Structure 1
Amino acid sequence: MDQLRTSPPPPTATELERWVLDTPAELRDLRASLRAALTRHGLVQGEELDEVPHLVVLVATELASNALRHGRPPTIVTLLRTDDCFLLDVADHDVSSVPELTDIHPLDSGGRGLFLAQSVSLAVGWYGTGDTKNIWASFPRTAAAA
């Protein structure tokens, strides 16, 4: 098992929106709201970036689902932005465990959130605060970052 790098998101990132989830049923609203937020907060349109909203929503759903299943609620999903990237930060209140990249077996259900995030994002990391464990992933906001 591999460990993720430990680092907070870039200090230049500014918070755009935040969602607090207590149950898996709230993931549907998160997906719709997150997609709208990406458009509202300046995803630069262009063929190279067409997949970005889908990928951000996919990673948010996987990481939040894992946090709701394995962490301690509430799960907090935060969308941040730098000049050229969007950052997704997913926090849960289980500070006793360390995120690990596990071996993925095709027939397993679940456990793909970190693997997926590493596969489709620009960068992934994790950090802890006094009461949360946070996993973040960054995505291009402009074609220059892609």
Structure 2
Amino acid sequence: MKLEHRAFEYAGTGAFLASVEPFLRSGLEAGEAVVAVVREPNLGALRDHLGSDGASIEFWPAEEFYLHPVRTLKDYQRIVASHAPRRVCALAEPVWQGWTPRQLLEWNRYESLINVVFEGSGARALCPYDRRAAPAHVLDQARRTHPLFLRDGDTRWNADFVDPVTFGTGCDRQRRFPPPRDADYFAIEDADLHRLRAFVAGRAAAHGLDRRAAQNLVTAANEVAANALRHGTPPMGLWTWPDGPDLICEIGDHGLWRPSPLTGFIPPESALDRGFGLWTVRLLVDLMEVRAGWNGTFVRMHMRK
């Protein structure tokens, strides 16, 4: 069965409940596994509105579920797999407040990737967008990432929908800002990455990252550097610098790598699959960006303390 991925816009709790209740009840009546990932105050209002009728629904607070795009994809994949062969009916309301512009870019990409990751799952997903809270550009992107739109109770094909490969390519064209002049630099010159790991660990400690975050960043940097040594073009190096609460770690070389915009986002079936390393890196760090141009290929990793 094909995925049904629809969005709708609302303003106010009443409008929210009026649109989501029929969707959830249709899932319950069909014997589907019904999941509701909703932000407050909608979550509390929905529970109260459904009462005992919602006893079999799996409720999640969106503020705890939507913390990291790739991890959230993995969590939804786990939910779908755990309920197989039952169809999953998911009410999925992301949190759009509190992110940087680059984080918002990745959350918009996440919505597009839903169409690929769950393409043959048969899942039904409804994504609410609060017109009063979501930024205007997020509403615009919702129309580009959802093939179906719910309006006035009817589901219609969305003519503004953009296929995920094209959408992801646009995300990767966002401007890359070079490291600051005072960034710390490490030249990657040989396959022995022990010194590189020690360099990153030292910068992580100086920035105040906790032990787990520091180890994750070291592991991620090692994976990206090893990949650059295998496939990149010298000279290559690593830069680190603070950006507010974040420690930035960027690895670059002079090659021109043109990965699929889906690379490193789609959960691989095994560790032998192409893209497993980049997928692992995305899971380890708070944000990873890949930019390629005339001056080389750069992988930038963000880790927040």
Q: TM-score range by the shorter chain?
A: 0.7 to 0.9
1:126 & 1:117 partners in 2: Cα distance?
Answer: 12
Relative to 1, partners in 2 of residues 1:99 and 1:76: Cα closer, same or farther, differing over 3 Å?
farther
CA distance in 1, matches of 2:191, 2:253: 13
Structure with bigger helix share is 2
2-structure distance, mates of 1:106, 1:136: 25
Q: CA deviation at 1:124?
A: 1.5
- Which range moves more in the overlay, 61-70 or 127-136? 127-136
Specify which of 72, 76, 84 is matched with residue 237 of structure 2: 76
- Residue 37 (str. 1) matches residue 197 (str. 2): no
Residues in 2 aligned to 1:107 and 1:116: alpha-carbon distance in whole angstroms: 10
Between the aligned partners of 1:71 and 1:19, the Cα distance in structure 2 is 16
How do 1:4-43 and structure 2 match up within 5 A? 5-6=171-172, 7-8=174-175, 15-25=182-192, 27-40=193-206, 42-43=207-208
Q: Which residue of 2 aligns with 1:119?
A: 283
Partner residue of 2:258? 98
Separation in 1, partners of 2:233, 2:178? 26
Computing the radius of gyration from Cα coordinates, the structure with the larger value is 2
Aligned partner of residue 197 in structure 2, secondary structure? helix
Q: Output the TM-score relative to the length of structure 1.
A: 0.75
User: Which residue of the partner structure matches residue 144 of structure 1?
Assistant: none
Q: Given the superposition, is the C-alpha separation of residues 15 and 114 from structure 1 closer, same or farther in structure 2, using an over 3 Å criterion?
A: farther
- What stretches of structure 2 of length at least 5 have no aligned partner? 1-115, 117-164
Q: 1:79 to 1:111 in 2, by over 3 A?
A: same
Work out whether residues 258 and 292 of structure 2, in 8 Å CA contact, stay in contact via their aligned partners in 1.
no
Identity among equivalent positions (%) equals: 17
Report the TM-score, using the length of structure 2 for normalisation.
0.39
Q: SS where residue 51 of structure 1 aligns?
A: helix
Higher relative contact order (CA 8 A, sep 6+): 1
Give the partner amino acid of 2:208: L
Q: Do the aligned partners of residues 61 and 8 (structure 1) sit closer, same or farther apart at CA in structure 2, a change above 3 Å counting?
A: farther
Q: Taking structure 1 as reference, are residues 113 and 78 closer, same or farther at Cα in structure 2, changes over 3 Å only?
A: farther
Matching of residue 108 in structure 1 with residue 272 in structure 2: yes
Q: Which runs of 5+ in 1 are unaligned?
A: 142-146
Q: Is the counterpart of residue 87 in structure 1 residue 263 in structure 2? A: no
The change in CA–CA distance for 1:50 and 1:99 in structure 2 (over 3 A counts) is same
Render the CA deviation track for 1:73-130: whole Å, top value 9, x for unaligned: 22211112111101111111111x2134166342518743321221122222122353
Q: Which has the higher mean CA deviation after the structures are superposed, 5-14 or 79-88? A: 5-14
Aligned residue pair count: 134
For 1:88 and 1:43, locate their aligned partners in 2 and report how far apart those are by CA, in whole Å: 14
**Match of 1:19, SS?**
strand
Contact residue 200 and residue 218 of structure 2 kept, 8 A: yes
Cα distance in 2 for residues equivalent to 1:12 and 1:79: 8
User: Is residue 139 of structure 1 aligned with residue 299 of structure 2?
Assistant: no
CA distance in 1, matches of 2:287, 2:177: 11
